[in-house]
Amino acid sequence: MAIETFREKVHAILQDMLNESAEVDQQELLNAYANVLTQLHADEAHRLLTEVINDARTRLDARLSPDPLRQTIATMQTTVQDLWRSLWNEEPGR
């Protein structure tokens, strides 16, 4: 799920909360929506972890392959991803 999709889901959840706020006890409403947001976060974290594990498994399979072409492709993929991460995680002014 992209950040925009996550934000849209959170926005919809909070909009529902605002619409229901006059009808229900606020503490019950707060607890219910905190649970919904926690579950949304857990689902997204699980999806991301699964994606990382699958990527690592694919890379490991390619590196252990007896085919030198697959090993070269895996090395290039790792290099490009490491470069992308270093650019993405670079803090301004560093």
Q: Is the pLDDT of residue 3 over 60?
A: yes
Predicted pLDDT at 78? 77
Q: Tell me the per-residue pLDDT of 49-79, one tens digit each, with 9 for 90 and over.
A: 888 888 777 777 776 777 777 777 777 777 7
**How is the chain split into domains, by residue range?**
3-88
Q: What is the mean pLDDT of residues 12-27?
A: 80
Which residues 6+ apart lie within 8 Å of 39 measured at CB? none
Q: What percent of the chain has a predicted confidence (pLDDT) above 70?
A: 86
**Dihedral angle over CA of 30, 33, 34, 35, nearest 10:** 130
| Separation in Å, CA 16 to CA 6, 24, 81 | 16, 12, 39
The pLDDT of residue 93 = 46
